[in-house]
Structure formats: C-alpha cells, structure tokens
Amino acid sequence: MIEIKDFVQHAPVAQATIDRYRGRVPDDLIDIWQRYGYGSFGDGFFRVIDPDLYLERLGDGLGRVGDDGEPATSIPIYATGLADLICWEPEPDSVTALLFRDQRLTGLGRQIKTMFTILNYDGIEKYGTDALDWGMYQKAVEAHGTLSYDQSFTYVPLLSLGGEQSVEHMRKRETIPAIQVYLEFQGPIEH
C-alpha cells in the first residue's frame, strides 16, 4: 500500500475507470485511485490524472511507437506542474516522463511505488531536482503563485521557439491545452 503524505484530493476516480484499467496498469495505481482519487501531491508538482481525458484530448500525441511501427498505448497517469506527463508503459512495464518543454523523455523506473518510496524518504526536493526540474517549478510558484489542479507552468515563448528558460518567461496555463501547443509546434516525443 502506497502512502502519499501531502495528497490533496480533487475528485474521486469513477469505479468504471478503475474497472477499465484494472489489469492494464499496476495494482499500486489502482490502490491510489481507490484510496486517494484524483489530486495533487509533492507540493502540488504532481497530479494524479484521468487517463481517459488525456488520451481523448492528446491521442497519438503521446508518441509511443510499437515494435511493428504502429502507435502503441502509453497510459498517462500523472501530470506535472511543468506540463509534462508521466505515463505507464505496458510494454515493457515501466514509468516514463514525457518532458515536452525539453522535447525529451526519461525513465522513472519499473514500478510506481519506487517514486513514492523516494518521495517519502528523501522528499520532493531530492526526487524532482534532476530529471523533472523541481527547482524551476518551485521558483515559478514563488514568482507566480500556486497552481490549480488543472494548471501548469509553461515557457512563453516555448523553449523550442527561442524562449528563455527563466521564471520571468513562465506563465500559468491549463495543462491539456499547454501540452496540445507543445505537440502542435514540436510534434510528439517518439519512444
């Protein structure tokens, strides 16, 4: 059973969603959905999200390509405060972060509970510093205020369009439309 120390619930997860994803995602995620629902943790940096909503709105933009060259399913399970997605990759079983702002991806381990073990032991400062840019998120919160559940900070203009990686160039945006802008201008992060 995973313990999330600073979880703030946004809404419960519908039983139909739990039933639809049982067997497709790890039992640890099902447990989180049942015990906590959708919401945020890690000082608001991570959000447990509705995978159906993100799949519907982003579709093939998640960039997963199967061994046969056809699109494969990445299941979005968390969004970050910097408009990145953390996905469950069913084949091979792994957790991957799609860092749209940097047009790259990074592996976060093979088990969902690994992230929470590190967060609970070392804290968000240690876990999110390198791969997920926790420090920039923290500076953005200090400069622009906290985010609502469905908001993220994005660079304006996008880094890929010559934007500067500084807090002064960050703005609050709705997360899904922000990711759609990344996809429109940069394309998917194929993996």
What confidence tens digit (pLDDT) does each residue in 90-100 have? Answer: 878 889 999 99
- Mind listing the pLDDT tens digit for each residue in 77-92? 999 999 999 999 887 8
Alpha-carbon distance 158 to 102, whole Å? Answer: 9
Helix axes of 175-186 and 51-58: crossing angle, nearest 10 degrees: 30
65 DSSP 8-state letter: B
Alpha-carbon distance 72 to 106, whole Å? Answer: 18
Q: Is the pLDDT of residue 129 over 60?
A: no
- Mind listing the pLDDT tens digit for each residue in 10-68? 999 999 999 999 999 999 999 999 999 999 998 999 999 999 999 999 987 887 655 55
Alpha-carbon distance 188 to 61, whole Å? Answer: 5
150 — pLDDT class (breaks 50, 70, 90): very high
- Mean pLDDT over each residue of the chain, to the nearest integer: 88
pTM above 0.85, yes or no: yes
141 — pLDDT class (breaks 50, 70, 90): very high
Q: Which positions ≥6 away from 46 have C-beta within 8 Å?
A: 40, 78, 79, 80, 81, 86
147 — pLDDT class (breaks 50, 70, 90): very high
Q: Is the pLDDT of residue 189 over 90?
A: no
